[in-house]
Amino acid sequence: MSAIKSEPFILNIGPQHPSTHGVFRVRVSVDGEQIVDAEMVMGYLHRSMEKLAEERTYTQNIPFTDRTDYLSSMSNNLGYCLAVEKLAGIGVPARGDAIRVIMAEFQRLASHCMAVGAFANDTGAWQTPVMWSFRERENILDLFEMTSGARLTCNYMRIGGVAFDLPKDFVPAAQKILDSLPKFIDEIDELLSGNEIFLVRTKNVGVVSPELAANASLSGPMLRGSGIAWDIRKADPYCGYEKYDFEIPIGYRGDSFDRFSVRLEEMRQSVKIIRQALAGLPGGPHSTQVPLALRPPKGEAYARVEGPRGELGYYLVSDEGPSPYRFHIRPPSFINLSALREMTVGGTVADAIVVLGSIDIVVGEIDR
């Protein structure tokens, strides 16, 4: 009697599916429950942002950067402004740099709150972790609203510094949040890191070896979760990060659990950095005066920051006009997603949901 032969079945995860965290599609070939192949289909959110940016002035492009990774608009504003400043040779006052660090680290905290809470949901956890995470994130967004007038797309950074100085109520409100965050991080750690179901769903799932992480140019928690201690804030400091005392957390297995643990520890380090920045907040101007119709000299510049998802870079080319001749973004979500096939093949469909959640993608910066 001949053995029963099965044929692979094509299953679409997305483009409208809660686990994709956006309009993103994965076509997986399954043999029973096991994934034998995976193909990413992207572009549903593409809006030619990089080309549109070449028709607008350097300052007008700042709000565009908010709408790439809309969960970390401060970081995107900062990366772009650093590139323009490098291109035009513009300096930033010490107070402006300190405020940028404070906002960038609060943005990392807010983004990681979303990442950790949504990831817990993806593993099948109850609603408690995501509700706790969103509560803390809302407190941080209150700070952003107090300072910039917006909660999500803040449009706060400016070429030469920041748009507004910190309001008088900012420091006490920030200190109150910094006092409550460590308890929240410890509670999430205690709630999930010792949970048997969470451990089964995440340990040895979506393993990325150090070799694969380096060869695929992964960055952020994806890279550090695989044991490589690379952080732009240490390797290529900007905004005075070399003055702050903080550590680079790493994982040792490169699995989904390690990426979760790295994000939790990064939150602790961000709290540490913000405390130092607030304690040493200098006086003086918060921004350098820059011409409204800025025309940088001919040349090119690339600036990068350590965003919540990894290396976020902006490449600009100037032809001495009021708009960039070339505008290009190096988005961490797009690069980190390149390892999805290797992370999912051989696992189950349920594992693929966990793996995708552990990457922490934002589709707006994948498609642009």
Question: What amino acid is encoded at 113 in this protein?
Answer: C
Structure confidence by residue, pLDDT tens digits, 336-368: 888 888 888 888 888 888 888 888 888 888 887
- Kindly report, residue by residue over 217-264, the tens digit of the pLDDT: 998 899 998 989 899 999 999 998 999 999 999 988 888 899 999 999
Joined together, the tokens standing for residue 170 give 């900012």
* pLDDT tens digits, 41-89: 888 888 888 889 888 998 989 888 888 888 888 999 999 999 999 999 9
**Element of type H or E holding 109:** helix 94-122
Q: What is the gyration radius of the CA atoms in the chain, in angstroms?
A: 21
What whole-number percentage of the chain has pLDDT above 70?
98
Mean pLDDT of 104-112: 93
> CB of 117 within 8 A of CB of 134?
yes
Q: What does the alpha-carbon distance between residue 67 and residue 78 come to, in Å, rounded to a whole number? A: 13
Cross-strand bridge partners of residue 240: none
- The answer to whether the beta carbons of residues 71 and 307 sit under 8 Å apart is no
Mean pLDDT of 150-165: 89
Residue with tokens 């797009």: 334
- Is residue 3 pLDDT above 70, yes or no? no
Residue 110: partners with Cβ closer than 8 Å, 6 or more residues away: 71, 72, 137, 140, 141
What is residue 23's predicted lDDT score, i.e. its pLDDT?
82
Query: How many angstroms separate the first and last alpha carbons of the chain?
Result: 55
**Run of H or E including 213:** helix 210-215
Identify the pLDDT of residue 338: 87
State the pLDDT at residue 283. 87
Return the ∠ at Cα 354 (arms to 353 and 359), rounded to 5°: 100
pTM, two decimals, is 0.89
Give the CATH fold of the 46-367 domain.
Answer: Cytochrome-c3 Hydrogenase; chain B (1.10.645)
- What pLDDT is attached to residue 317? 92
- pLDDT at site 4: 65
Amino acid at 312: L
CA torsion, ordered 318, 320, 323, 328, to nearest 10 deg: 0
Q: Summarize pLDDT for 285-329 with one digit per residue, the tens.
A: 888 888 888 899 999 999 999 989 989 999 999 988 888 999 999
What's the mean pLDDT when you consider all of the chain?
Answer: 88
What one-letter code names the amino acid at 207? V
- Beta partners for 287? 161
pLDDT score of 190: 87
User: Could you tell me how many residues make up the chain?
Assistant: 368
Domain boundaries, the chain: 46-367
| Distance from C-alpha of 258 to C-alpha of 213, rounded to nearest angstrom | 14
Q: How far apart are CA 32 and CA 14, in angstroms?
A: 19
In the structure, how many helices (H) and strands (E) does the chain have? 15, 8
pLDDT of residue 21: 74
Which pLDDT does position 5 carry in this prediction? 66
Q: Which residues, in sequence order, are bridge partners of residue 10?
A: 29
Whether 74 and 157 have beta carbons less than 8 Å apart is answered as yes
Q: What per-residue confidence (pLDDT) applies to 2?
A: 56
